Copies of this chain bind each other. A is one copy, B any other.
Amino acid sequence: MPAYKAPLRDIRFLMNEVFDYSAHYKTLSNGENADPDTIDMILEGAADYCENVLSPLNQTGDDEGCHFENGEVRTPKGYKEAYDQFVQGGWQGLSYPEEFGGQGLPMSLNLIKSEMMGTANWAFTMYPGLSMGCMNTIMQFGTDDQKNTYMPHLVAGTWSGTMCLTEPQCGTDLGQVKTKAEPQADGTYKISGTKIFISAGEHDLTENIIHIVLARLPDAPAGTRGISLFIVPKFIPTQDGGVGERNTVACGSIEHKMGIKASATAVLNFDGATGYLIGEINKGLHAMFTFMNTARIGTAVQGIAHAELSYQGALPYAKERMSMRALSGKKDPDKVADAIIHHADVRRMLLTQKAIAEGGRAMIYHAAQLADKMADALIIGDQAKFEEYDDKLGFYTPILKGFLTELGLEAASHGMQVFGGHGYIKEWGMEQILRDARIATLYEGTTGVQALDLIGRKVLLSSKGKVVRDYTAEILKFCGRHARNKYLRRFAWDLTKLCAQWNTLTVRIMLAARKDRDIVSSASVDYLMFSGYVMLAYFWAQQAVIASEKLEAGDGKETPEFYKAKIKVADFYFERLLPRTQGHAEAMVNPSRTLMSLQSEHFSFDY
């Protein structure tokens, strides 16, 4: 398993040079806390914790997995200690309000910390990660009493949280939720039903686990309009803030999964468990979706996390492993063969990983600034601003989540491929990265769900293509602004063409959808991938422009090669990966008929 090394040079390049986080933080009401020294301390501290505590537990956690016995879950050896250190470091409260014991820093720092943690050990990171959905929900919709009861413990990390949505018969289609909530005389509810796939649903890391549960009141309307939200703690909190009586929610089993084995995925049986309504009756799904974008961007991070880790594993191997000679002549003449990094096709795989990891990181770090602004609007109570940024983020979210997790899979697979047959052997750890990465396109909405959200809801329904027009206008403005930049000149033409094509494709599908409703679905994933490749191109262009400006200004005297590498990888991206847009473009415009006309019973004649 590659030992994780935090890519601080790249993180700082994005924060300081590309996106000017320092200026950005000054625009936030809580930005003054995020001074350069604090940021540095956080980056270095997180890097240290991730490299030295979390990374060594990544492979051992996979080997050992979680164990379930008598309703209890034992996390792998060392996880409890690592979690305790996480709590002691105050990492959970980084971006949560000071009034609850947090540090009140902007949300983006939390995301950057999560990226490091997730790359070092994704399975571990899911335990504190799931608490965030719970905390966000309580902060936004909880009563003062609920906030005071739960937030301090959650922010400290001594309690953790979950989101209980999925049931055996439904995941995406939450209108089918059956879990029942019976009102009691004392204002509480008795919750009964079975929830599955509950990450961090049961474990031994915290004193208490606070479940946010989707359930239905007896008289609730059918479908999504009859769903309410409940807080169901594993242990009922006592008046003095301790843990009291055990609630009747029990872990029935944990899943045996392909990967992220150190993360416990629980089946939870609610058997008349005491629950507390949070938010309005029958408005539970709406509340749940308030932080959907933030949660999904958290999952998008997994794409770059596994691309990065797989790259960190493949790069040294490619430099060490000797095999054959480069076609253009010996590169290591004194050795028995050339290191495989001298073979163009191996470089193609490494550069693809690098382009995905670093380009995807840029996309995420840009979105993180929007998340900051959104959170800030909440803090200052500006609902209009909140919705403005939520809309903006809402356009990015399905692209980031859907596209980056698909590319993360590809990158993880390349990392194995660089190792040849050794990539298939567990001890190298490269295959674990692919297994861990594989969940990312499935949970928090599959790629298909993201794709439909993008084209159906965000592009066509809510904006009739305006979001794409606005976004491409921004790209074109960027191209115009840097028209004289000698590196951008090549890229600008490609970007301009692609912006036009993106709009054309949008209009074509919008028009076709009038008569061919299914085209929205049949085109969706190709549309998502097309959008992702164009967006990623824009972020590579941005990085290349900054790098070239730094080189020209002589700013990068100490590390000019860093900037040169950025430009070369941007080149690679434009020449080698961006052409994939054309296959997607050609495929998506075809009518849905070819997909829809085969009757289900004729998909096979043999079984």
Binding site for B on A (CB under 8 A): 5-10, 166, 169-173, 175-176, 197, 255-259, 311-312, 315, 319, 322-324, 326-329, 336-337, 339, 341-348, 350-351, 354, 409, 413, 416-417, 420-421, 423-427, 431, 434-435, 438-439, 441-443, 446-448, 451-452, 456, 517-522, 524-525, 559, 561-562, 564-565, 568-569, 571-572, 575-577, 579-587, 590, 592, 594-600, 602-607
Can you name the residue of chain B whose Cβ is closest to the Cβ of A409? B413
The one of B256, B345, B456, B580 in contact with A451, judged by C-beta atoms closer than 8 angstroms, is B345
| Apart from the given pairs A344-B518, A347-B595, A348-B522, 4 other A-B contacts in the complex at a CB distance below 8 Å | A5-B606, A10-B605, A348-B525, A577-B587
B438 close to A431 (CB less than 8 A): yes
A572 close to B586 (CB less than 8 A): no
C-alpha gap A329/B517 in the complex (Å) = 9
> What residues on B are CB-neighbors of A197 within 8 Å?
421
How far is the CB of A515 from the nearest CB of chain B, in Å? 10
C-alpha gap A576/B348 in the complex (Å) = 25
C-alpha gap A580/B529 in the complex (Å) = 13
What are 14 A-B interface contacts by the 8 Å CB criterion?
A171-B421, A176-B322, A256-B427, A258-B424, A329-B517, A341-B603, A344-B519, A348-B595, A420-B442, A424-B438, A435-B435, A575-B587, A576-B595, A582-B586
C-alpha gap A415/B44 in the complex (Å) = 42
> What residues on B are CB-neighbors of A441 within 8 Å?
417
* Given A258-B435, A344-B596, A606-B9, A327-B575 contact (CB < 8 Å): no
How far is the CB of A512 from the nearest CB of chain B, in Å? 12
> What residues on B are CB-neighbors of A571 within 8 Å?
594
> What residues on B are CB-neighbors of A594 within 8 Å?
568, 571-572, 575-576
How far is the CB of A163 from the nearest CB of chain B, in Å? 13
A351 close to B173 (CB less than 8 A): no
A600 close to B339 (CB less than 8 A): yes
- Counting every copy of the chain, the complex holds 2
Can you name the residue of chain B whose Cβ is closest to the Cβ of A596? B344
How far is the CB of A607 from the nearest CB of chain B, in Å? 4
> What residues on B are CB-neighbors of A326 within 8 Å?
518, 521
C-alpha gap A342/B518 in the complex (Å) = 10
> What residues on B are CB-neighbors of A434 within 8 Å?
258, 438
Can you name the residue of chain B whose Cβ is closest to the Cβ of A6? B606
The one of B336, B520, B568 in contact with A176, judged by C-beta atoms closer than 8 angstroms, is B336
C-alpha gap A345/B452 in the complex (Å) = 9
* Given A258-B431, A442-B416, A324-B426 contact (CB < 8 Å): no
* Given A171-B323, A590-B575, A562-B605 contact (CB < 8 Å): yes
How far is the CB of A75 from the nearest CB of chain B, in Å? 19
The one of B315, B339, B345, B435 in contact with A521, judged by C-beta atoms closer than 8 angstroms, is B345
> What residues on B are CB-neighbors of A327 within 8 Å?
456, 517-518, 520-521
> What residues on B are CB-neighbors of A170 within 8 Å?
323
A169 close to B579 (CB less than 8 A): no
> What residues on B are CB-neighbors of A452 within 8 Å?
345
> What residues on B are CB-neighbors of A8 within 8 Å?
606
B572 close to A579 (CB less than 8 A): no
* Given A594-B575, A603-B565, A322-B518 contact (CB < 8 Å): no
A417 close to B442 (CB less than 8 A): yes
C-alpha gap A312/B606 in the complex (Å) = 10
C-alpha gap A605/B587 in the complex (Å) = 39
B446 close to A417 (CB less than 8 A): yes
> What residues on B are CB-neighbors of A521 within 8 Å?
326-327, 343-345
B606 close to A10 (CB less than 8 A): yes
How far is the CB of A428 from the nearest CB of chain B, in Å? 10
C-alpha gap A404/B319 in the complex (Å) = 29
For A324, A326, A603, which residue has the most chain B Cβ atoms within 10 angstroms? A603
How far is the CB of A366 from the nearest CB of chain B, in Å? 20
For A559, A576, A597, which residue has the most chain B Cβ atoms within 10 angstroms? A576
* Given A416-B438, A424-B438, A607-B5 contact (CB < 8 Å): yes
How far is the CB of A537 from the nearest CB of chain B, in Å? 14
> What residues on B are CB-neighbors of A604 within 8 Å?
7, 311-312, 315, 354
> What residues on B are CB-neighbors of A586 within 8 Å?
579, 582
* Given A336-B176, A417-B442, A319-B600 contact (CB < 8 Å): yes
C-alpha gap A448/B321 in the complex (Å) = 15
B256 close to A425 (CB less than 8 A): yes
C-alpha gap A339/B441 in the complex (Å) = 21
A439 close to B420 (CB less than 8 A): no
C-alpha gap A416/B466 in the complex (Å) = 34
A426 close to B344 (CB less than 8 A): no
C-alpha gap A8/B259 in the complex (Å) = 35
> What residues on B are CB-neighbors of A323 within 8 Å?
170-173, 176
The one of B517, B561, B583, B584 in contact with A602, judged by C-beta atoms closer than 8 angstroms, is B561
> What residues on B are CB-neighbors of A525 within 8 Å?
345, 348
C-alpha gap A586/B575 in the complex (Å) = 8
> What residues on B are CB-neighbors of A522 within 8 Å?
344-345, 347-348
